[in-house]
Each structure stands twice: as structure tokens, then as C-alpha cells.
Amino acid sequence: MSTLSTKDRILNTTEQLIAEHGFSGISIRKISQAAQSNLAAINYHFGNKQQLINEVLERRLNNLFEIRQRMLDDLNQGESQACVLEQVLHAFIAPALFMINDKNQGGKTFMIVLARAYAEQGEHLHQLMTTKYTDTIKAFADAIHRSAPHLAKETVFWRFHFIIGSLTYAMSDFGASSMSKQMSESEYFNKSVEELIQFALQSLRA
């Protein structure tokens, strides 16, 4: 922990505090205190509070969409065009949910942050989706359309949209208290991935 730079300590601490208390529940005073840094260090390293939040979000979103794109590319490499729908959905959904198990990276924390961001930082996220990550999203929509040729392109768009909603909602639930008591945490995550993929798959069938 203390081996990290002040800047990284602030980023990690901010992520964790947002997950715990939401975007509205944080202040640079609480952050600097929890990160054991000085109050002014935040403005020194990030300019202002909003830019700090932006860096927290984009740091891991870049990683997430890179993984998604890479998994999709692997599928497009050597495939039989049809019946890979399940794999396409897996490539989109699994990286998000499995990030959660990535303990040493704080991925779980970020997923909760991301779910919160959909509501509290919607404008910023929407902007990212239509600029920085638009290529990957389009690539997935195309792949789904190719794998489900029985559906109109417009229908694919709508349902992909709804699936993203389900995924977002499922992620945000991991931060809530609705966890089953009969499963371990990772069992629950694995179960969620499977159920969500089957749900999405079914919703796109003929």
C-alpha cells in the first residue's frame, strides 16, 4: 500500500470510497484523509475533483473494453460464422462480471462504482460510449447481428440495449444486500454470469 505513489493511492482510495458511499458521499477531504495524503495533493495531481473522478472511471473502463474487444477479436479469427452467439455474449458480459473476482486489482470495487456511475455520471459515461468505446460497441452489435440473422438489425439493437441494462443492474446488485446466503461470493458471481448469459441468449433466439 505505502509502496504506491501518492497519485495511485488517491485513485484507489477514491474508487473504494465511491463504492462505499456513492459519488455524492465523497469529498476530497475524506479522500485525502483515507489515502493518507494531503488535501492539496488532489488538486495538484488531478486539477480538480471532477477530473479525479474521470480518471477513476476511465482507468478501468479502458481495461474492460480492451478485454472485451480482444475476446471478440479472438472469436472473429477462427469461427464458423453461425451459432457463436453465446460466445459473443460471453465476451461482452463475462469480462465485466469476472472483473469482480480480480481481488488484487480491486475490480469488484470498480464494478460497483461503474453501476453507480450509470445513474450519477450518466452524461460522462454516455459521452465515453459514443466516442472512445463506440467502435467496440458497434463491433459487438454487428457480431450479434451476424450470429442472429433471423432478427432485424433494429431488434438486435434494442435487445442488446436491454441486455446491457440487465448487466448493469446485476452489477449494481452485487453492491447491495441481496446476496444469497447459501452461496459463497464467487459461486454467486459465477452463477450470475451463467444465468445472465442464458437470459441474454434466450432473448435473442428465433
Partner DNA sequence: AAACGTATTAAACGAACGTTTGAATTGCCT
Partner DNA sequence: AGGCAATTCAAACGTTCGTTTAATACGTTT
Name the grid cell of 103: 481481488
CB of 2 to its own copies, least distance (A): 32
Asked if residue 165 binds its own copies (CB under 8 A), the reply is yes
Environment class of 22 (CB within 10 Å of its CB; exposed 0-12, middle 13-18, buried 19+): middle
DSSP designation for 177: T
Nearest CB to its own copies, comparing residues 143 and 200 = 200
CB of 8 to its own copies, least distance (A): 26
Asked if residue 27 binds its own copies (CB under 8 A), the reply is no
Q: Which whole-number Å values give the CA distances from 57 to 2, 25, 51, 98, in the listed order?
A: 23, 16, 10, 17
- Main-chain dihedrals φ then ψ at residue 204, nearest 5 degrees: -110, 5
CB of 13 to DNA, least distance (A): 13
Q: Which stretch binds its own copies (CB under 8 A): 67-75, 79-87, 131-139, 154-162?
A: 154-162
* Half-sphere exposure in the Cβ direction for 168 (13 Å, CA): 14
Task: Tell me which residue has cell 477513476.
Answer: 56
Q: Which stretch binds DNA (CB under 7 A): 27-35, 64-72, 137-145, 192-200?
A: 27-35
Asked if residue 187 binds its own copies (CB under 8 A), the reply is no
Q: Which stretch binds DNA (CB under 7 A): 31-39, 72-80, 108-116, 146-154?
A: 31-39
Asked if residue 116 binds its own copies (CB under 8 A), the reply is yes
* Interface residues toward DNA, by CB under 7 A: 5-7, 26-30, 37-45, 48-50
